[in-house]
Structure 1
Amino acid sequence: MAQDEARLRRHLASSLLDDIDGITGRLVSDICAHSALYASGRPVPLADLRAICRDNLVLVVKDFGRMPAGADDFTAAATETGRRRAGQGMPLDTVLMAYRRGGRVLWQAMTEPLRGRPAGEQDLALDVAGALWETIDRFSTVMSDAYRLAQLELQHRRESRRGAFLEALLEGRGSDPAVAAAASAALGIPVTDSYVVVVIDQNPADPAAPEPVLKEADLWSFWRTRAARSTGLVRLASLEPAKLAAVLRTARLGAVGMSPAFRSLADADTALRLAERALGTLSPHSGEVAELDERLVEAMLTGDAEMADRIVARYLGGVPECGPDAVLLMDTLNTWLAMGCSAPRTAERLYCHRNTILNRLERISEITGWSIESGEARLGWALALRAARVPR
């Protein structure tokens, strides 16, 4: 029985190989009739489709007929097809459809020689013909595995290339128009639009992924890890920076520094420097978001710790050393300044009597030696309160 099956397989395979060019033509026409993408010749040229179809048909038929072709050739051809189609960007489902059409065309071509077989061989003929689909399935599986691996490799290379261009922008090479244009193409964003650079100081034991958070808010971003921080370029488009800050604040990704918005990719390096200045005004892993333009004073004071300490000493004097009352006095002073130096409005905000506010202010005046009516004192207190909060 095994010999009969082997003879029948070789007979059918020989019949198919004798008409391989005709079968190839029918297969190409069938594939194009069922796929507008293949029919268009893009991304797979029709000549490429025809050549691959013919070569694969020969190997599939020889494997089915157990003719000398070599298992290595069979596997190598399926692997090459998978890698080639992945590189061309042809969807895997479309490629698998072409393989199914190939099996159908081969099956139809096989029915002609089967019709002439003796009646006693019909069952064997059907079993042998059914084995054709097993061969097609094996070829499809090898091709699919190769396609997915190639796709992963291509994605890794694309991500590496995008990362390299982001690094180039952050290092200041975007001032070269050619580099800016190449970065624009690699990242898929315009050279000119509304952007910010964001730097996140995350908990290394539990880092959060900022890109999905922003994607959910319909914001494009691309991120790299630099100096143990997540650094990202975010495309604002028509969104206001304050809205981005709100998204980041809600996500609680860590301490976040945001640059002011800028228009050209050539300015990404300056934006990075400003985002880092903003981040420097926050305590590590604080969960706060610092927009530079909202924290310019803190950014200046953070850049000169010695000067910040002297401002605190000159204008606040011994207030920070007032034990349990220190926080109360400084909060009162901060609120009073924020309320336009109005005692009634401060009292309303802090839910206490106006005289209580005046008594606290008088005590601050006594400790610091500055009159609450002094314009310099008010400016100095505002600076000192911020200087007391910035990280050293």
Structure 2
Amino acid sequence: MVPHLSAEAPSGVVAAAVRSALADLDAMAAELAARVTAAETELSGASAVSAYDRREAVTGRLGNFLLHLAGEVPLDLDALRALGRRRAEQGVSLIALLDAVRIGGQYAWEELTARIPPGDGEGAGVLLAEAPRLWSALSAVSGELRAGYADSLTASARGSREKRDELLDVLLGPPDVGLQATAAQSLGLPRYGRFQIAVVEHGQALPADWTLLGDTREVRSLWRFDRPVSLCLAEVAAVRHVRGLREILRPASGWRIGVSRCFRDVVQASAARRQALIALGTVSAGAPGVALYGEDPLATLVASAPDTAIEVAEELLHGVLILPETERDTLLSTLDGWFTAGGSTAEAARALFCHRNTVRYRLRRIEELTGLSVSDPRASAQLLMALHARLTR
């Protein structure tokens, strides 16, 4: 709990500006409420709070804030926390709530600045010197609203799949260490441990058996089910599982799964989800399986910028891609087989069930169509990158 901030004695210039603003509190509250409503509507497409509720909240909090700047009262942090709880229950996003604080702070500063007499450079300088105290007070306001918001999530989330999903969304959302740590606690997760995230592409039909782990004693998992991709956040307890989820997930036929690296701080879940999504992008649509982030550096780079990779691939392979489908696919599968065989023509021929000379002929054909030689390391790397982009798009 943040202690109540005691009132501090401001300069005479600031006190006079604040008293002038307080005399116009009703008009200021109306203007600020209108600005906050417009901002919330822009974020979500609609305002989640009634005009009366917002006007009352703005009047009360703005009045207390100005009185605090005048050195007359402490910030009412209890009221701020209660407001944070209420806005969470009303469905206002945390981003919109904190944006309202930013708008309010900017508006208060504009009004105080406007109340310094024109040409009073000394007074403007005194007000500027008081700015750190204003920003400190705004930080306290934001912190208490955030704490109240987190209180509401914690109180309503236990045992409800919908609420559990909401908490997971907070944990996997934009960085906010305090709120994410509270969400993790509400989900029964420790702040520090050994965690991994997997994203599972299973199509439109949700799995019939939602216990997708081979040995649930090894991990505690939380699932966020959706179509066509679901997510698993797991606390991996067994250190002997070097790759954790990769080794104990039991995917059904046709599924594609991407797994993040292990991470130690639960609030890093959002970054880990991005890793898992990139890993998913390295799994070929034609050969479903499980991939760990970073295990194939080239495929990871391609998947991290798929649009750019496809654009480059289509340019490099243009001569091949414009061929009739059968010829095109034959050449690409030969190139893939040759790379898989480590550049061995004989091994590629055995895997492709054709003669070595056939493989050589097809590789020469690719070289003619692309202008890239498979014997040139730089050109060969470009072909491999382009092929990865084609196979995983």
Structure that is richer in helix per residue: 1
Return the TM-score normalized by structure 2: 0.50
Q: Which has the larger radius of gyration?
A: 1
Return the TM-score normalized by structure 1: 0.50
